[in-house]
Amino acid sequence: MSSSSTYTQLLNHVKQSSALGQIAGVLSWDQEVIMPPNGAPMRAEQMGALEVVSHAHRTDPRISEWLEKIDVDELDEVGKANVRLVRKSYERSTKIPTKLSEELARITSQAQGIWAKARSANSFADFAPVLSKIIDLKREEAKCLAGEVGNLYDALLNDFEPGMTVDVLQPLLEGMRPRLSALRQKIAEKSGGRATLTGPFETDAQMKLARSFADIVGYNWQSGRLDLSVHPFSSGTGNDSRITTRVDADNPLDCLYSTLHELGHALYEQGMPEQYVLEPVASYASMGVHESQSRLWENQIGRSKAFCNWLLPHMNEAFGKDTVGSVDELYKIINHVETGFIRTESDEVHYNLHVLLRFELERELISGTLEVTDLEAEWNRRFERDFGIAVPDAAHGVLQDVHWSVGLFGYFPTYSLGNIYAAQLNEVLRKAEPELNEQIAQGKTDNALNWLRENVHQKGSLFEPDILIENTVGAKVTAEPLLNYLEKKYTDLFDL
């Protein structure tokens, strides 16, 4: 059999694997948005059965035979990328013993409930034992992936940010700390109290405005939908890329900017190269690149003064009143800076400092230099070091994020990578579209979307993320554009 027909066989097989993965996504979406509450136990059985057959499909030994037979040199760029991605995913699947995967799935499934209860009870001690188990299993998993000599944290990181290593990441992220800390200090000395919008803000009006956000950014309603859920999220890909949001009656900005964030994710997914649907190459390059898309729309576009020019009249119209006195006032409100305990609620200046704390702690947990028994005390000590305020309780500290309970170690830094990539992309986008602010003020973002489509979305995972960014912006990954953007924005805003 020729190499190219072997490639076709392989591709058909992995497209089925992709389709099975998408099914798991549909079931999860349904569970969060639609499913009646009593359906949960049966849904767990469905997910379990799907994982059994999907795992068998992903680890089918024929994949290895096909990979051996294929002459990569005969393939085009897309074919080469597909083979690279299949090989990586196949090796990952086969390196980890099934028993370990099952144990991890079982423990993390339990741990989410334990974490939620511990957070309600404000008791880290209730969560610590299961977290210890998870870390033991994740270390074991990392050993399987990294081999004898590899770095454990790199192995975990690689699941979310292919090709990234601690050697590169640590100086990149830690390097931001001095300028971020200096900026937050300066702002703290200047910033006044928080202005607020004049309510009330009816649910229907919030959702209508959220939908108009989707309209102006070019979200394709024929290939997606917007629903409500407890936590906003995006789900699906290509022609079925859905988002959710939530409504806070007192604060419409939560709904609006959550929507804009998820729209950024969904635009990326809707922009995947349709001719390669279900092929590995037609999926996102990394979690960092995914986050760059959500953050660019949320922050560089959505929290710009230009966007406030569009937003103010539309907000007043939606809520049938003068919600705020002027565009300048609105711009201040949506860019309010305040030291807080919760990462997900933090502003652009503090956000990466939150991520740095987790990145530092989870590296030490995985390397074994930090024990789970010491984690809460270390969290609190370092939080005060970084933010200057004392953590009042575990719910506002070490228990605030779900990630570790799900076994997501190596995921947090991708949030900061997303911010870094977003700022790099934004810098080049602004050069390519010098009139972008004027367009945004008119609610016209099609040029921005087209640029992202062409330079990021349509590339799928043809390249590893650092290469994708370098190709697009013409420079290595660096935090300079992000720091410059933040310093300029807040210096102007607070007259620093």
The pair of three-digit structure tokens given for residue 210, joined into one six-digit string: 């959220």
Closest CA to 56 of 101, 11, 1, 107: 101
228 near its own copies, rule: CB under 8 A: no
Alpha helices in 77-123 (DSSP H): 77-95, 98-120
| 222 lies in the binding site for its own copies (CB under 8 A) | yes
Other beta carbons less than 10 A from residue 69's beta carbon: 15
Binding residue for its own copies, selected from 3, 6, 46, 151, defined by CB under 8 A = 46
Does the footprint of its own copies cover residue 357 (CB under 8 A)? no
- Per-position b or e across 383-411, b if 16+ CB within 10 A of its CB: beebbeeebeebbbbbbbbeebbebbbbb
Where does this chain touch its own copies (CB under 8 A) — which range of 1-9, 219-227, 316-324, 374-382? 219-227
Rounded Cα gap, residues 262 and 285, in angstroms: 17
> Does 97 sit near its own copies (CB under 8 A)?
no
Q: How much is the CA Rg of the chain, to the nearest whole Å?
A: 23
8 touches its own copies by CB under 8 A: no
Shortest distance (Å) from residue 36 CB to its own copies: 5
23 is an interface residue for its own copies by CB under 8 A = yes
Active-site positions read: 262
Choose, by CB under 8 A, the member of 4, 5, 8, 26 that binds its own copies. Answer: 26
For residues 193 and 181, is the Cβ–Cβ distance under 8 A? no
Q: What contacts 228, CB < 8 A, 6 or more positions away?
A: 33, 207, 244, 245, 246, 247
Select the residue interacting with its own copies from 92, 95, 225, 314 (CB under 8 A): 225
What ranges in 368-411 are assigned the alpha helix state H?
A: 375-387
For the window 49-68, what string marks contact with its own copies as x by the rule CB under 8 A? xx-xxx-xx-----------
Interaction residues for its own copies, span 264-303 (CB under 8 A) = 277-278
Residue 244 C-beta-side C-alpha neighbours within 13 Å:
17
Q: Which one of 15-23, 95-103, 180-188, 316-324 is the stretch in contact with its own copies (CB under 8 A)?
A: 15-23
Asked if the peptide bond before residue 97 counts as cis, ω within 30 degrees of 0, the response is no
Considering the rule CB under 8 A, would residue 16 count as an interface residue with its own copies? yes
Scanning 42-50, 106-114, 209-217, 416-424 for contacts with its own copies by CB under 8 A, the matching segment is: 42-50
Q: Which is closer to its own copies, CB of 41 or CB of 434? A: 41
Nearer CB in complex with its own copies: 10/366: 10
* Residue 34 makes contact with its own copies by CB under 8 A: yes
Where do contacts with its own copies occur on this chain (CB under 8 A)?
A: 15-17, 19-20, 22-23, 26-27, 30, 34-39, 41-43, 45-46, 48-50, 52-54, 56-57, 220-225, 236, 238-240, 242, 277-278
